[in-house]
Structure 1
Amino acid sequence: MEHEQLKRQVNSHIEANVEDMVGLLEDLVGEMTVIGNERPGQEVIIEKFDEMGLESDVWTPDAEQLRQHEAFFETQAYQEVGYEDRPNVVATIKGAGEGPTLALSGHMDVVPVTESEWEHDPFELTHEDGCLYGRGAGDMKGGTVAFVHAVESLRQLDIKLEGDLYLQSTIEEEDGGVGGLLSALMRGYLPDGAIIPEPLGVPNLGMASAGVRYFQITVRGKSAHVGFGYQGVNGLDKAMKVYEALRELDAKRKARIEYEPAYRLDPQMRGHETNLNIGIIQAADWPAIIPGEVVMKGRLGWPPGEEPEEVIGELVETIDRVAEEDEWLSDHPPELEFFGLQADPHEVDPSEVLLQTAMKNAEWVTGRNGVFYGGSAGNDTRYYKRYYDIPATSVGPEATDIHGADEFVTVDSLLETSKTIADTVIDYCGVAEEP
């Protein structure tokens, strides 16, 4: 294997200094960086970059500039708190030659917690039998500290690279990443390849992401006192016609659509690569009222292979057909709106040099066979490939209960991730020869 002796030296250094990596994770988990409040964690990253002798580019997203991009949408966090005081952070390590530029990118935001469900303090890293518990330990502060530790090890061993490195810590990935990674790309951080260490379980690597749309359907009836219900039109009854039609559409799409990378690791996923789900139904606010307005909110997801307009078109056609077949709804048609997360699907060819390099190193480090998979959920890698034609992959630790109670990641998996990333950096960017 190319650079094998050097990689063994680096990997030994990474393992010998594991407490440094865990310490940084402890600092980050200790900051309550729920979406919209990313700054405290970013300050930890800025301090760490400073300790490494790196200068940080720190900026807050410009919403008006972002609106010019085809991938822009207003995230829920932006609508609630804006972008003020929510910085992105990038440090650049210049290479000594003309090697490819590689971005290593993680997100600082985490999803909210219901503390009563946790046995551990979600914002205090807990060490237990080789596992590290805390919100974001897996998704994805663990991945961030893994790549920071990898690069710090390279620097401590005075290994000079041919190509540049971008070390990125961004905001609001959990909400769609518009103010985060998209903002970094629009700022000019355009590498030749990128790694985002989302918790996919090294040696398995991400190669695709799903299209996602959140939507709302408003169905209007006519409210009335239930004792005089004949005077009203039950909006919930009408909404249920739409609901049942959407269930049928979901079943038809599941029977029709297959995307093999989505179920490579989990055969139970087969037949569920696409999904149309109603998660919220809001009707009247009193038992004795015939509901005059019903709002249904849902998520539409699909793997690569269909463009957004095709999938949305099926949704619109289904709702229109229900309206046409109902006398009341034909005069009072349901209203469809999209809100929040709007992600388009992407796929990267696994034969890309970066992906092959990362897989080779992941398998070498772990001693296990890996697979390329993805396409059942959205993630930030889509911005690189779909809009800038930059190959990107997810190389991250194995985490459990992400977004749930007692989220955790294993120390061993973090070490494997850090070693894989360090070794991939060496191969992809190239090592500069001593003068």
Structure 2
Amino acid sequence: MIEVLETLGLQTEDEIALLNFNSYLQIPSVQPNVNYDTCVEFLGTMAESLQLPMQVLNLVEGKPIVLMTWMGTEPALPAILLNSHMDVSPVVISEWSHNPFAVEIEDQNIYARGAQDSKCIGIQYLEAVRRLKRSKTVLKRTIYLSYMPDAEIGGLKGMGAFTDWEDFGKLNIGFALDSGMATLGDKFVAFNGEKYAWNIRVCCQGTSGDAELLLDDTPGERMSRVLQKFFAFRTMEMEKLTANPDWTLANVISINLTKIEGGGRRNMVPSEFVLYFDCRIPFERMDVDELEPTMDQWCHDVSNSVLIDYTLQELPINPTRINDPYWVTFEKAVEEVEVQMFPGRTDSRHLRNAEIPVVSFSPIINTPVRLHGHDEHIGIQTFLDGITIYCRILRELGELME
């Protein structure tokens, strides 16, 4: 990246921001086995350069939480939390056109794992603070910057542990920003809530024996019939999405088969196959009470030997109200923003459970969504523009009086 930056004629503050982004992206903090030491060391360097006090909270072994503080002039006012996460999702190197940790530039786009989710906002927060401090800006409200572990695998040992921390209430957080999602459109998207998750395990038991026989009621046959029912429901939800042009994934139930277990020998029919489904349910979906008995009936219709277990059943969490003073102030700073429900799960649900209003927002427009996908990237100018946007957001939120 450094060689390319020298040809762009950027301002010094932009070069600093991009070089810091480059350094952060090069850290391979990939799930599931993350060593966060390098991230913590890097963030410590950033905090020192900005003269921000920094704590490292070891609430769960091997899952450090980094918390920086920019103290406001009126610390009794509820603080603003800027949250992002250090971990990134796994990569399949063969599907990338660029090395995901070399931070390569093509057509003014930065290619790297974490470029969208969520190392971009982690650096944008810091660089916005840098520019505000350089301009001698002083805010009434205290600003916290948090860098979480564990977000890519549920966040229970990251943000979940943070909100359960005995001193969490002492931070007096009134409002939080978390990571959002890129959009292909030219209008920013902010998310005031998200779907909730069910994880479903279906065990298809049946006749086992030698594979040379044509046995009745084998686990594979029962598995096939179960899959037909689940996929028929999935198709119905897809058709609803197609039939309603104004809808997004946040308006429909998404269900996907994510894992199959079973079998040991090629010449033996096993006694069972186990299916795992990931299901995400919209907050406002009114027919959800019918979902569990419907799925139970699907399995019962196939056989009494098909057993369903709901290994996770999250409850819906109230979204952030769009007439909330913090939301109104955020919207004023961003100027044009479309409100949506996030189609997946983020750390924001832990904050909402703690009754803190949250907006999930990443200032990335005119960009294909690549979080968790191959060739994740962000435009250089898009990244730099995001810093300017966060400067406006912090000025507005930091001066908001109750």
Q: Say whether residues 1:382 and 2:342 are aligned partners.
A: no
C-alpha deviation, 1:135, in angstroms: 0.7
Map of 1:89 onto structure 2: 66
Of 97, 101, 112, the match for 1:134: 112
Corresponding residue of 2:6: none
State the distance in 2 between where 1:324 and 1:177 align: 34
| Cα displacement (A) at 1:191 | 1.0
Q: Do the aligned partners of 2:249 and 2:343 also contact (CA within 8 Å) in 1?
A: no
More helix per residue: 1
Within 5 Å, give how 1:341-420 maps onto structure 2: 344-363=316-335, 369-385=336-352, 387-398=353-364, 400=368, 401-420=370-389
> For residues 323 and 53 of structure 1, do their structure 2 counterparts lie closer, same or farther at Cα, with a shift above 3 Å needed?
closer
Corresponding residue of 1:211: 196
Contact conserved, 1:176 with 1:342, CA < 8 A, in 2? no
Q: How far is the alpha carbon of 1:30 from its aligned partner? A: 0.9
Unpaired runs of 5+ in structure 1?
Answer: 1-13, 63-83, 364-368
1:18-69 deviations in Å (ceiling 9; x for gaps): 111111111111111012413322221122112211221102234xxxxxxx
Q: Cα offset for 1:175?
A: 1.1
Whole-angstrom CA distance in 2 between matches of 1:299 and 1:402: 18
In structure 1, distance between residues paired with 2:204 and 2:400: 62
Aligned positions of 1:3-402 closer than 5 A: 17-35=13-31, 36-37=33-34, 38-62=36-60, 84-97=61-74, 98-187=76-165, 188=168, 189-201=171-183, 203-230=188-215, 233-251=217-235, 269=248, 273-306=252-285, 311=288, 314-326=290-302, 329-330=303-304, 332-338=305-311, 344-363=316-335, 369-385=336-352, 387-398=353-364, 400=368, 401-402=370-371
Q: Which stretch shows the higher mean deviation, 200-209 or 120-129?
A: 200-209
Question: What letter is aligned with 1:362?
Answer: V
TM-score (norm 1): 0.78
**How many residues are aligned here?**
378
When residues 103 and 132 of structure 1 are mapped into structure 2, their CA distance, relative to the original with a 3 A threshold, is: same
The answer to whether the 8 Å contact 1:233/1:292 transfers is: no
Amino acid at match of 1:50: E
CA distance, structure 1, for counterparts of residue 251 and residue 331 of structure 2: 26
Q: Normalized against structure 2, the TM-score is what? A: 0.84
Letter aligned with residue 395 of structure 1: F
Matching residue's letter, 2:68: A
Q: Which runs of 5+ in 2 are unaligned?
A: 1-9
CA distance, structure 2, for counterparts of residue 200 and residue 342 of structure 1:
26
| Equivalent position of 1:65 in the other structure | none
Which residue is 1:430 aligned to?
A: 399
Identical amino acids, percent of aligned pairs:
19
CA deviation vs aligned residue, 1:211-238 (integer Å, no higher than 9, x gap): 12232211111211122333x6410111
Alpha-carbon deviation of 1:192? 0.6
The superposition leaves residues 171-222 of structure 1 with CA deviations (integer Å, 9 ceiling, x where unpaired) of: 1111111122222223314411111143345732122211122322111112
Against the structure 1 CA distance between its residues 191 and 318, is the aligned structure 2 distance closer, same or farther, given a 3 Å change threshold? same
Which deviates further from its counterpart, 84-93 or 242-251?
242-251
**Aligned partners of 2:16, 2:228: CA distance in 1, in Å?**
54
Residue 157 of structure 2 aligns to a residue whose secondary structure is: helix
Would you say the 8 A contact 1:283–1:293 is kept in 2?
yes
Cα drift, residue 420 of structure 1: 1.7
C-alpha RMSD of matched pairs (Å) = 2.9
